[in-house]
Structure 1
Amino acid sequence: MILMKFMVEIFTVFLNCITFTGTGDWCLNAMSTYVILYETPRYGACHFSLSFWNSSKKAKIPLKEPKWIDELHQKQPLNDLDAVILAMNSATASKMVFERHVGSSRSFTKLSIICRLIALVWQLLALSMASLSTIFYIFLQFLHSLLSFGSQSWIYTASKRLFNTTWINIQIRCGQILFWPILLQDNDLRSQSCVEYAEKAALHKHSMWSSLAVDLLLGNLIGFSLLFNAESVCLWVLDFANDPTNELLRTGCVWLMGVPAGFKLNTELAGVLGMISLNAIQIWSTLWFFVDSLLASLVKGLAILGILFGMTVPAALVRDMIVVVMLHVSTLHWMISLLYSQQIQALAALWRLFRGRKWNPLRQRLDSYEYTVKQHIVGSLLFTPLLLLLPTTSVFYIFFTMMNTSISLICMLIEVIISIIHATPYIKIVLWLVRRRRFPAGIWFEIVSCHSNSVNSPEIVSLDKISSPSKNSLHQENISGRSHVLVSILHSNFLTIGQIVIPHYRQVFTRVSRSYFARSAYGVLTGKRISSTLGTKLPSTMPWMLIPYKEYWCLCRNSILACMPKCECHLFQ
């Protein structure tokens, strides 16, 4: 029985070779035969793909090539190589599906002890994960009902606007926790027809729960660290909040009210701007005194959020809290930037008055205009004091712009970290480290031997390796009076770790315009406020799901059991 199956496998491989190469063209005097050996594509092992590959060749081509290689390149390439690769990946997939359905009708008693043990462990894993997920499901449903009850209050609306990033990440995380058993279901029949389709479907199916697991792991590490070191973290936060206020803001405002860096500023304007800034800082310091007593509770709340929802939710909350804590800096920057921008616009308009030009807002251009003498006199009287007061306003604007830009960069950095945590393909990285052959990118041929027989004298050529990475390298041979026998082995190129990860990271910055930094620099020069968010892409939110608890538990258990590896012990008996 085993010998017969082995012969069937050999015959199948031979047929696959003939199907792949389209064995040579028959003629009256000669025949060219190309035999290509390849490993049978199997799910979880290997398959073939003709995607673009830009790396160096796997083997070096000899300097002096035989004549038959030049004749090969002169032939027309096969146009259906994509269909041939698809047939190779589909043949074994269909065979495995058929054997699995036939073998499932046999009794369970034929399974080995190892298969029984694996099934028992998988059953225990399914029960434990289903129970844990159901507890989370009940907790999330309770929170959703509580928030729905108070959704019309102004507190809910204000907190949603103030902590917008945290709210979005909580929605993403809750959707992933609720919908992971549905996405884990294997309902795609098309993926079972081809090994390549099955690999892509499996990577898509396991991407969400792997991202959720890694995020929860990082959240638990950071959460327990915060719980065990809550007091030291509180002291560090207090120092971080007080030092910029006391050391930078107060000292900087007092320095600007004098003679900063030897520049002689307008004393009255500098005194007014400095006193307004110092009063705002003092009000913030008074309010921060009442926050000190709540800081320990906030740190513990961040730790609990990290343990329950992963690292991205507390990171988003930290970003929003930085914006709230540094509200006095952003407010002062907004006030100074408004004064600076209005002053710049007034000076530009008065300069156009002296040139006899006027801005046309309808056509967005400068037109000639004849001003009166009174307008020129009034313009001269306004232009002089505005120009003399510009250095004082510019110094204060530059100082608060530097402070506000530093805070914005910290918020952008946290935003990028959150998006990268969401976008990193953890399951692909693990599979690439374990089995790189599951990520093919192009094919190449290793020439084993070439036997050439002619009418006059035979010619035998044996080569170690000849690389042929492109799909146009496969040709048919038909030369009158000569026969060729070419034996080669089909190999695959593989993706690098960068080619796997970089496309996912590019998706993070698809919403970021290339002119973002240029527009930000122009906005700083003209007194416009720049955004504190970079606009990176986050996973899409999912609708809320509400089903009975028992049904959700069964759904989780069945989803994990559907991913149980198939034991094929009975197929070899």
Structure 2
Amino acid sequence: MSHSFVYSILGKVFCNTRQSILFRSCQLLYWPFFLQDPGKRSLTCVEFAEKAAFRMHLMWSNIVVDIFLGNLFGIVLWYSAETCCLWVSSCVNDITDHCLRTSIWLMGNPAGFKLNTELAGVLGMISLNGIQIWSTLWAFMSFLFIHFLKGLAIFGIFFGLTTAAALIIDIISIATIHVLTLHLFLSLLYSSQIQTVAALWRLFRGQKWNPLRQRLDSYDYTVEQHVVGSLLFTPILLLLPTTSAFYIFFSSLHTAVSFICFVIGVTISIIRATPYSKIFIWLKKKQRFPSGIWFEVAPCKCIETGAENDGYKSTRKLLDNSRASGKSTILVSFLRSNHLNLGEVVCPHYGQIYGAFSKSSIISSAYSLLTGTRYPFLPPPPIRTVRRSTVLFHI
């Protein structure tokens, strides 16, 4: 095979790792552009100068924190690689033995449901053979796992925690490829049965789906078509529960794996989107983040009444007493400002992460899961792109 073909295959298999390394490389290459003078506008607009300074400090703070967390993770993983290897191998064996191979119970009467014995036996043997083949490959390649853990530690030390997490997502996807394959096979079979049952049901109702107008039109079927439809409808409908049992089992496993990868992806997005420079400045000097102003009126010198200056009522009482006694009081107004709390400073940077949980995406995923089509599980939030001059950089 040519080198370009091998590189393209590796790029598709380790797509998350490749994107993470590209992201870090673009950060390091684009850093000099942030050090340039923001221009004359910063001299006349305080808000623009403030935003330019925060944007300049946002990148280096993200890189420093990511590398620091990656070094902690990498050093701990490097010195405990053998222990982690044994623990992961035992977990994989337990999952394979107690979870995946338990699909043999689907070949009987799962939860008291009477399934088709022949179809359940065929689907069960296909599932068990696929699991056994992948388990054999894992046993032959298990000696390389210790080297993978050390490579993961090196990735974390040099590229940061986010790159190591992206590599973990790719490895999880590779390690569970047999679950994905069985899920795709059963979803194809399940969706075909669902579509066939729906088409035959429209045949009995005298309707036909019009793909051009995306609607149901009336249609006169012949007697022969009704007879053939009846002969096909009965066995397909009776075999549907057997296929559904296997489809639900492997869809649940695939959903669990996808959810784990999704959580890791969201964690990567949170680490990259967190404004660490703003957090450090907020902890040191909250006055840099005002949220409103107000005036506090107070007398310059207290009089004999002994009342404390505790707000508007106290000041009003001092004025009334001074007028009654004939003495004058000098009032001083102080300009005060409210400050943003830490949540109000950080939450605006997580807008795109919240956008991944849109109602439409959740509904489409649920509909695809019920109909048997390959549903796109909620992906990690997209990375914002900022164009400055002629350089395109992910931020």
Q: If the length of structure 2 is used for normalisation, what is the TM-score?
A: 0.87
Does 1:317 find its partner at 2:167?
Answer: yes
Q: Measure, in 2, the Cα distance between the counterparts of 1:164 and 1:247.
A: 31
Does 2:383 align with 1:529?
no
Distance 1:200 1:515, change over 3 A: same
> Is contact 2:357-2:378 (8 Å) kept?
no
Q: Distance in 1 between matches of 2:283 and 2:62?
A: 17
Equivalent in 94, 117, 120 of residue 267 of structure 1 = 117
- SS of 1:153's equivalent? helix
* 1:287–1:542 CA distance, 2 compared to 1 (3 A): farther
Aligned residue for 1:442, secondary structure, equals strand
Aligned residue for 1:502?
A: 347
State how far apart, in whole Å, the 2-side matches of 1:538 and 1:166 are.
15
Q: Which has the higher helix share?
A: 2
Please list every run of 5 or more consecutive structure 1 residues that lacks an aligned counterpart in the other structure.
1-149, 451-461, 468-484, 546-573
Runs of 4+ with >6 A deviation: none
Partner of 2:48: 197
Distance 1:178 1:466, change over 3 A: farther
Map residues 51-450 of structure 1 onto 2, 5 A cutoff: 153-251=4-102, 253-448=103-298
Deviation at 1:464, TM superposition (A): 5.5
Q: Which runs of 5+ in 2 are unaligned?
A: 301-307, 314-329, 391-395
Distance 1:539 1:303 in 2: 28
Letter in 2 for 1:287: L
Counterpart in the other structure of 1:564: none
> In structure 1, the residue corresponding to 2:336 is in which secondary structure?
strand
Q: Rate the CA distance shift 1:319–1:180 in 2: closer, same or farther, 3 A.
A: same
Aligned AA (1:281)? I
CA positional deviation for 1:182: 3.3
Q: What is the CA deviation profile of residues 480-523 of structure 1, one whole-angstrom value per residue up to 9, with x for unaligned ones?
A: xxxxx974222211111111111111133435543111111111
Paired residue type of 2:278? K
1:216 is displaced (CA, Å) by 0.2
TM-score, normalised to structure 1, is: 0.61
- Supply the distance in 2 between the matched residues of 1:495 and 1:464 (Cα, whole angstroms): 24
The answer as to whether partners of 1:163 and 1:320 remain within 8 angstroms in 2 is yes
**Which string of whole-angstrom CA distances, capped at 9 and with x for unpartnered residues, describes residues 322-380 of structure 1?**
01110000000000010000000100111111111111111111111111111111110
Structure 1 pair 185–465 and aligned structure 2 pair: CA distance change class (3 A): farther
Stretch of structure 1 that moved more, 424-433 or 440-449: 440-449
Q: Give the SS at the match of 1:282.
A: helix
RMSD: 2.4
Counterpart amino acid of residue 254 in structure 1: I
- Pairwise CA distance, 1:286: 1.4
Q: Quick one: higher RCO (CA 8 Å, sep 6+), 1 or 2? A: 1
Whole-angstrom distance in 2 between the partners of 1:215 and 1:436: 25
Deviation readout 1:363-415 (Å, 9 max, x if unpaired): 11111111111111111000000111011001001100110000000010010
**Change beyond 3 A, Cα 1:151–1:309:** farther
Provide the C-alpha distance between the structure 2 equivalents of 1:203 and 1:151, rounded to a whole number of angstroms.
46
8 Å Cα contact 1:443-1:492 kept in structure 2? yes
Distance in 2 of aligned mates of 1:401 and 1:259: 19
**Contact residue 172 and residue 541 of structure 1 kept, 8 A:** no
Q: Match for 1:258: what amino acid?
A: G
Q: Distance in 1 between matches of 2:50 and 2:118?
A: 72
Amino acid at match of 1:164: C
Partner of 2:361: 516
